Amino acid sequence: MRNAPHTRADPDAPARDKVLFQLKMRGPQTAAQLARRLRVTPIAVRQHLRRLAADGLVQARDLRGGVGRPARVFAPSAAAAGRFPDTHAALTVELLESMRAALGEGAVDRLVAERTRRQLESYRARLGRGPLERRVRALAAVRCEEGYLAEVTRERDGTFLLLENHCPICAAARVCQGLCREELALFRGALGPDVEVERTEHLLAGARRCAYRITPKRRGRRKRRLA
């Protein structure tokens, strides 16, 4: 997470950064949930949330779920994206729009395809072969290096979920949706033909993050010949 330098006049800034990071990684939470995760008091968390809200970095909403007072949950605001890794969003968007205007949509598609080709070569070298879990975790490590705040969870049925809690190229992807399309193809190519990759959450579709379900392909059973 990219933060401004802290000064003596703002000793609580690192603690607020931890609160914001938890909201980014785990989604909307109540003050009590945050306090349990961070192992601090709810009072301390509420103080940090008030400051984050005053800075425009956190927004709150009330969830009604039965009898009693509604639960107040907190989530990062759109402005909070600036506190996390980016890839020179404004410049990238400007270049894509200029290329589309000067050379046409086909030129943008070729550019994205070439980027994917180079990424695929790099990813395959990093992931190697071997067990699927090792390949998936290596993929998550690469994506973390690129600023996606990626993590992996394993389901009981043996499938994996690759979760990307931040998108450093989100602004570019909004004006060039081929980036998202190629990203799915990139994962499939990097992980190999023995797996299926499905996008289950999509930031551009309104989700808070992108998520991918990675499932080992089942080998077809040979049919027994009738005697």
Q: What is the pLDDT of residues 70-106, one digit of tens each?
A: 889 999 987 887 777 665 677 778 888 898 899 898 9
pLDDT digits (tens, 9 = 90+) for 52-77: 999 899 999 998 776 778 889 999 98
Identify whether the C-beta of residue 86 lies closer than 8 Å to the C-beta of residue 168.
yes
Domain limits for position 168: 89-216
Q: What is the pTM of this model?
A: 0.70
- Is 111 inside a domain boundary? yes
The number of distinct structural domains making up the chain is: 2
* Residues 35 and 143 grouped into a single domain: no
Phi, psi values for residue 100, rounded to 5°: -60, -40
Report pLDDT for 219.
64
What span, in angstroms and rounded, lies between the C-alpha atoms of 116 and 122? Answer: 10
* Residues 94 and 157 grouped into a single domain: yes
What span, in angstroms and rounded, lies between the C-alpha atoms of 167 and 158? Answer: 26
Ranges assigned E (strand) in the chain: 58-63, 71-76, 150-154, 160-164, 195-201, 210-216
* Residues 63 and 94 grouped into a single domain: no
- Is 225 inside a domain boundary? no
Identify whether the C-beta of residue 35 lies closer than 8 Å to the C-beta of residue 46.
no
